[in-house]
Amino acid sequence: MPNPDQIPSEGELTVHKIGTRLQAIKMIDLTLSEKLIKEETGKDPVLREVSNHIKLGWKNQCNSHLKPYYRKREELAIENKIIMWGGRIVIPQGIQKAVLHYLHRGHPGTSAMRALARFYVWWPSIDEDIDRYIKLCHKCQENRPNDPELPIYSWSIPEKNWERIHIDFAGPFEGKYWVVVVDALSKWIEVRPMTKTTTVKLCAKLDGIFQG
């Protein structure tokens, strides 16, 4: 998130714009409202501290409950008052159980549920909480060892072009990496060469695709 006390650079504005778009897509998939996440983040005492540190800077020393966030401090950001880590929404404690319930639709196995969570959300004990959730699921325990390793999950259907995109890198090929962008509704593919795969360069390339 651009520092409100400074004039943001073009790169910062681009990163903020792309981050906001990706955040909105993931909230739709998780059937979570932006208002709910904001409210729960504001109620969570730990995340309030984390938010302040992101805005004002981290000290060299921090309390033990903040150490998981301190280790990721260079990758944490705030988008629309919601904390993000590496494109994943940091979920407040008050709605973690609801998110686990959603991720467990179709009763995926542990590794599949973790893989799904890694695309959408994060909190410090998420892997342990997933393990515990599955162990307490009677249906999963009854069906062991026949748990499916792939989740029974379908993407929500976009209503218009470019509402959802899928992005990946290919390469290196001919001395370059290639960013591949696929529109989920029309299946239209855009491929662009990149010499560097930094976040700023990627966001600038995506912004050019969206505006084109």
CA gap 15, 92 in Å, rounded:
23
Task: Label residue 2 exposed, middle or buried (CB < 10 Å: 0-12, 13-18, 19+).
Answer: middle
Query: How far, CA to CA in Å, does 170 sit from each of 77, 137, 178, 186, 191?
Result: 27, 39, 5, 21, 10
Provide the mean pLDDT of the chain.
80
- pLDDT value at position 130? 94
The answer to whether residues 171 and 131 belong to one domain is no
Omega before residue 145 within 30° of 0, cis: yes
The answer to whether residues 32 and 107 belong to one domain is yes
The answer to whether residues 77 and 128 belong to one domain is yes
The answer to whether residues 138 and 37 belong to one domain is yes
Total structural domains within the chain? 2
Q: Report the CATH number at residue 123.
A: 1.10.340.70
The answer to whether residues 111 and 18 belong to one domain is yes
Task: Label residue 39 exposed, middle or buried (CB < 10 Å: 0-12, 13-18, 19+).
Answer: middle
Q: Range with the lowest mean pLDDT among 11-20, 114-123, 134-143, 202-211? A: 11-20
The answer to whether residues 82 and 38 belong to one domain is yes
The answer to whether residues 92 and 175 belong to one domain is no
The answer to whether residues 124 and 172 belong to one domain is no
The tens digit of pLDDT for each residue in 165-207 reads 888 888 777 788 888 888 888 888 888 888 887 777 888 888 8
The answer to whether residues 28 and 122 belong to one domain is yes
The tens digit of pLDDT for each residue in 7-65 reads 555 655 554 554 555 555 555 656 677 888 899 999 999 999 999 999 999 988 788 99
Q: Is the pLDDT of residue 132 over 90?
A: yes
The answer to whether residues 83 and 179 belong to one domain is no
